[in-house]
Amino acid sequence: MQKPFQRVIVVSLLVGALMLGGCDSPKQQAATPTTSPSSTPTSSPITNQFPGLPRLNGTATVVMTVNGNKQITIELDGNNAPISAGNFVDLVQRKFYDGLSFHRVVRQPQPFVVQGGDPKGNGSGGYIPAGSSTERRIPLEIKPKGASAPVYSKTMTDIPELQHKRGAIAMARSQSPDSASSQFYFTLADISFLDGNYAVFGRITKGLEIIDTIQQGDKITSAKVTQGIENLKK
């Protein structure tokens, strides 16, 4: 059994793997909306809070093909994470992920995550819309268990509706809560210490064993929405 200080070191190393490689510039940091720890949970309509961001009103299914022929079926939960799920489905529809690699795989000192979705391939990139010079960023979005709406832009200690169980899909981000863009990760084990700190927005429903075989550099051949595209609102 790990001693307390050993566990702190392990947790620090593992969580560090989820941080995006690039640092926000002062301009980007100033432009990113944040909420202080003392703020009350946000509950106003999402369209008013974050205009212009895609959202998923309901559920959708994405089939991701890895290394040519290995298929992973992912159910996206827009009921509990409408912006995070909507952002992902929108990028899938744009074929943004096709051809990108899994740039980070962490299995030691214990199974943790496989991470992808970076167009630069080094952990520092995100999605830049056509005609823009900056990445599209989405807010940290976590719905506490039993709550009527997600809480935005802040971490929490409450138990969330969507938890980091094995096979969950969640958004990677840098230190700022509202810095997620296109990078995502699959969890290789139950990782409860991430709950409340990163936005889970779905889970693998078929092909779970495939994530155990993914290696750094493996490619996403394609990702396609097979059900629920009508629930995507732009």
**φ, ψ (nearest 5 deg) of residue 191:** -130, 75
Residue pair 153/35 in contact by the 8 Å Cβ criterion: yes
**Band of residue 220 on the pLDDT scale cut at 50, 70, 90:** very high
Confidence of residue 11 (pLDDT cuts 50, 70, 90): low
The pLDDT of residue 40: 35
**Contact call for residues 89 and 81 (beta carbons, < 8 A):** no
pTM of the model: 0.84
Instruction: Evaluate if residue 39 carries a pLDDT over 80.
Output: no
Q: Specify the pLDDT at position 51.
A: 86
Of 14-23, 36-45, 143-152, the range with the highest mean pLDDT is 143-152
Assess whether the previous peptide bond of 119 is cis (omega < 30° from 0).
no
Question: What mean pLDDT, rounded, does the chain reach?
Answer: 86
What's the rounded Cα separation, in Å, for the pair 227 and 234? 17
Q: Which residue ranges make up each domain of the chain? A: 4-20+52-228
pLDDT tens track for 131-143: 999 999 999 999 9
Residue 180 DSSP code: B
At 142-197, the pLDDT tens digits run 999 999 999 999 999 999 999 999 999 999 999 999 999 999 999 999 999 999 99
Can you tell me the distance from the alpha carbon of 169 to that of 156, in angstroms, rounded to the nearest whole number?
19
Residue 166 phi, psi dihedral angles, 5° rounding: -55, 130
Position 6 scores a pLDDT of: 42
How many degrees, rounded to 5, is the angle at CA 143 between CA 139 and CA 145?
Answer: 165
Mean pLDDT for the stretch of residues 21-46 = 36
* 31: CB partners within 8 A, 6+ apart: 134
Q: For residues 35 and 91, which has the higher predicted lDDT (pLDDT)?
A: 91
Query: Which residue, 170, 166, 157, 151, is CA-closest to 209?
Result: 166
**Domain 4-20+52-228 belongs to what architecture?**
Beta Barrel (2.40)
User: How do 70-77 and 59-66 pair as beta strands?
Assistant: antiparallel
